[in-house]
Chains A and B, each alone.
Chain A
């Protein structure tokens, strides 16, 4: 706990340093301090995860009336640890990233502040503390999002969306928590959980719906995701990595903390709702990420998709618990948490990698990139490791968690009500399609962004980024490899977190490693063995062929021109672009994606039979945003225009407002 508090203070101090230090010292001083803060938090959270102990702290100093409550249990420690790992790499990365940015004070000061709030939220253990921490997180992230608004005006639009969605979400959470606190008469989480029997089911369901809406909007679940594909791409890349790798996860934390442990599991339909939203998010996110040609937008939608997978796991766990299947519930939740941790690792790497690309080329449009593998070999390698991990390639962490999730759903079939079984079936189908689409999206990202030949001068002249940026990415990418080969390292910790995340706790049933040994669960894999086998085969095949080549008298592979369909010259213009790569998929899923086509034919002045130019434009915008949000926004702006007519500058009219209001109030009082 002391280490945790030290870390928290260090992060706040780092933010202050970033604010006051002169430019020469600012970046390095703040960055190193913020990385240290992460090490301290990591140590504290790691101790809780390893031992399963819980700590709590109450102080009447910081908040008036209620005082602040902080507590660490394995569930919150898991989120703190993940945030700390992502925060550590982001802090390293920011050192070089900010050094090359003019006016870097805002970024350098807000990044540690944002990090501090991210570390604070999971530890908050009373309604007041939690809401304050939550609002601080919303505020710091909003400022962090806006730090580059001078360079890109689109940032302001994104920030408006983000602010609106995040505050609406916070309002829902606040309503839910107030209702909960009022009905139980308690405000610390521990006493609320203890006085849970006071809650009637309708009230509990109301609390669930309110808080779930709020948390799901923070997690970016469809249809509350609209802010995410705007805010993630427009934020500076270290902030995107923190948002996607840590902040979004806290939405899931909220669902687990409030809806599962405080409300005690509740009804089956709650969790079926969670699964349904997970399925929608997974499919919608994966489809859009495979249709996107903007690298960071692709990653943002992929976040929506991964959160969907986590929600499927969380919902399955809740549904199984509601059916009384405690062991299976803890398996499903373990899988969901594993997926969430992995998501933080690979999505963190990917956003930092996208930032490196943007830094080196000035663009994040995949159609303008290409050929970066030869120019930025380290970034390419680290990006590719994370991308393959997210595609669930065996030997990397995404595979381990996706396999576990599949096992959780498969064994969830043992639970009886037919609705649960249907939910599991839908979950498996969604997981499968999502997996395939994710692979498509990331093959596209690597293949068109990093391989082949550069399509523009900007990509042509790209250079490898500074060492500290590479180090930031490397830490997270290493995590992807380690958690992929040795899942046994984290599974016990995840198991503790999962039992802390289920109402009433769950038996610690899982032995270390993925040698799962549950009653009725006999499947087992050894990812380490698979990876070792693969490596052995690849090495032997490579060595054998080298030997055969040497014996035949060939020493190096000869380089020749690629086959250009009979043309002499192979130019980058012939390469497939990200947009055309996604075209078949867009056609297959045209009913969901609804791409906009725009074909303009310009004829030459003399005759309409000869064409001067044809422009074809196609874009895929968010169908949910168009259908569900645009009408609301236009209604609101119509209302705003209407209201603007009322104040016309006449002092008499303003005074009349006050008079009428006074009369009305008095009339109402009588």
Chain B
């Protein structure tokens, strides 16, 4: 048993502290998601010598959409109204249980990495079903592509998690984060770096960024995630957009915390939480800027080249696991 885990087990803080911390995480992700996307848009615009919309544009859009009238396509069923709710709900619950700011979140024992994966899968399934509900050509096409990419990114994702969990001897996220805080040497070990590279590829694919998907395109034949959202308007669209932004911020936050956990609160004081908030904002913003700069300089892959990318992610993950077994 590692010291960090013993420490984690020793003091489980009061329920209300954990609820507060989780609520703070949800708010941070909900506000941070649109801001991060706005920041990336800004960086891309500047790199392309444009001025671009302000960073807070995403939040303003959400505010506008919520006030609009709800419009649904005819022939849609309850799925069309449920899908945005489930997408948003899964993102909220996932951000409540992931140790973004603190290692003691609302769920007893803390979030589990597999649980976060399956919560996100739940959101994807909801979005894909929503895309099929109106019975239009593009919605279905988007669902089909998104599910395909999701399916082939899954092995890389879970094997990468396996590599980390074998290192940390648990798949519980707080356990992993506390472990890396106690053993900084893990972070430079080959298995950790390889697993993170694999995770990064999957995160790019799951959030639909370049080179897998281009979130700013509405060019009909190349859309993936956007195609599933075409039929949403008003409040529904606001939930879908917010949900997608939250997923993005959550995955980015997860990635930085797995690679660079410093700043995450383990002492459970309010001051530490605030420091953690600032640290998280800085870390994710930095990563978002890097991603934006990479996006500016790369082209989107053809749909049928994406398996190559994800298979590469899978090899990286397998290498991570074997490296973990070879190097002790």
Same complex:
yes
- Give A residues with C-beta under 8 Å from B: 290, 370-371, 373-374, 380, 388, 391-394, 399, 402-403, 406-407, 409-410, 413, 418, 421, 425, 428-429, 431-433, 435-437, 439-440, 443-444, 446-448, 450-453, 515, 520-526, 529-530, 533-534, 537-538, 541-542, 545, 548-549, 552, 554, 557-565, 570, 572, 574-576, 580-585, 587-588
Interface size bracket, B side: 35 or more
A432 touches B158 (CB 8 A): yes
Could you say which of A435, A537, A545, A562 has the most chain B C-beta atoms within 10 Å of its C-beta?
A562
B125 touches A523 (CB 8 A): no
How far is B72's CA from A364's CA once the two chains are assembled, in angstroms? 29
A562 touches B135 (CB 8 A): yes
How far is B154's CA from A392's CA once the two chains are assembled, in angstroms? 13
A572 touches B135 (CB 8 A): yes
How far is B69's CA from A315's CA once the two chains are assembled, in angstroms? 56
On whether A446 and B129 interact (CB within 8 A), knowing A393-B122, A534-B89, A559-B74, the answer reads: yes
Which of A394, A425, A522, A557 meets B159, CB within 8 Å? A425
- B121 contacts A by Cβ under 8 Å: yes
Closest B residue to A431 by CB, please name it: B158
- Residues of B within 8 Å of A429, CB to CB, are 155, 158-159, 314, 318
* Minimum C-beta distance from B273 to chain A (A): 20
Closest A residue to B220 by CB, please name it: A565
Closest B residue to A571 by CB, please name it: B135
* Chain B 69-106 interface mask (CB, 8 Å, partner A; 1/0): 11111111111010001101110110011000000001
* Minimum C-beta distance from B8 to chain A (A): 8
How far is B110's CA from A451's CA once the two chains are assembled, in angstroms? 37
On whether A391 and B121 interact (CB within 8 A), knowing A443-B147, A537-B89, A585-B148, the answer reads: yes
B158 touches A452 (CB 8 A): no
B159 touches A451 (CB 8 A): no
A452 touches B152 (CB 8 A): no
Known: A428-B162, A561-B73. 6 other contacts (CB 8 A): A429-B159, A451-B129, A515-B109, A530-B115, A563-B138, A563-B231
* Minimum C-beta distance from B180 to chain A (A): 15
Which of A388, A561, A576 meets B140, CB within 8 Å? A576
B235 touches A549 (CB 8 A): yes
- B108 contacts A by Cβ under 8 Å: yes
DSSP majority for the B interface?
helix
On whether A585 and B151 interact (CB within 8 A), knowing A406-B158, A522-B5, A526-B109, the answer reads: yes
A425 touches B129 (CB 8 A): no
- Give B residues with C-beta under 8 Å from A: 1, 5, 9, 66-79, 81, 85-86, 88-90, 92-93, 96-97, 106-110, 112, 114-115, 118-119, 121-122, 124-125, 128-129, 131-141, 143-145, 147-148, 150-155, 157-159, 162, 165-166, 169-172, 175, 220, 230-231, 235, 239, 303-304, 307, 314, 318, 321, 325
* Minimum C-beta distance from B153 to chain A (A): 7
A523 touches B109 (CB 8 A): yes
Closest B residue to A549 by CB, please name it: B70
On whether A530 and B136 interact (CB within 8 A), knowing A393-B122, A559-B74, the answer reads: no
A447 touches B108 (CB 8 A): no
DSSP majority for the A interface?
helix
A440 touches B75 (CB 8 A): no
- Residues of A within 8 Å of B81, CB to CB, are 557
- Residues of B within 8 Å of A409, CB to CB, are 162
Closest B residue to A522 by CB, please name it: B170
B92 touches A537 (CB 8 A): yes
* Minimum C-beta distance from B141 to chain A (A): 6
- Residues of B within 8 Å of A452, CB to CB, are 75, 132-135, 140
How far is B93's CA from A399's CA once the two chains are assembled, in angstroms? 16
How far is B231's CA from A98's CA once the two chains are assembled, in angstroms? 42
Which of A399, A418, A421, A552 meets B118, CB within 8 Å? A399
A406 touches B171 (CB 8 A): yes
How far is B90's CA from A538's CA once the two chains are assembled, in angstroms? 9
A425 touches B141 (CB 8 A): no
* Minimum C-beta distance from B307 to chain A (A): 5
How far is B86's CA from A538's CA once the two chains are assembled, in angstroms? 6
On whether A439 and B150 interact (CB within 8 A), knowing A393-B121, A413-B166, the answer reads: yes
* Minimum C-beta distance from A618 to chain B (A): 15
- Residues of B within 8 Å of A538, CB to CB, are 85-86, 88-89
B230 touches A563 (CB 8 A): yes
On whether A447 and B151 interact (CB within 8 A), knowing A406-B171, A541-B239, the answer reads: no
How far is B304's CA from A585's CA once the two chains are assembled, in angstroms? 10
B74 touches A394 (CB 8 A): no
A448 touches B132 (CB 8 A): yes
Which of B70, B79, B166, B169 meets A558, CB within 8 Å? B70
B74 touches A425 (CB 8 A): no
Which of B71, B133, B171, B325 meets A523, CB within 8 Å? B171
* Minimum C-beta distance from B82 to chain A (A): 8
B147 touches A439 (CB 8 A): yes
How far is B136's CA from A370's CA once the two chains are assembled, in angstroms? 12
- Residues of B within 8 Å of A523, CB to CB, are 109, 112, 170-172, 175
A541 touches B75 (CB 8 A): no
Which of A371, A410, A418, A548 meets B135, CB within 8 Å? A371
- Residues of A within 8 Å of B147, CB to CB, are 436, 439-440, 443-444, 585
* Minimum C-beta distance from B12 to chain A (A): 12
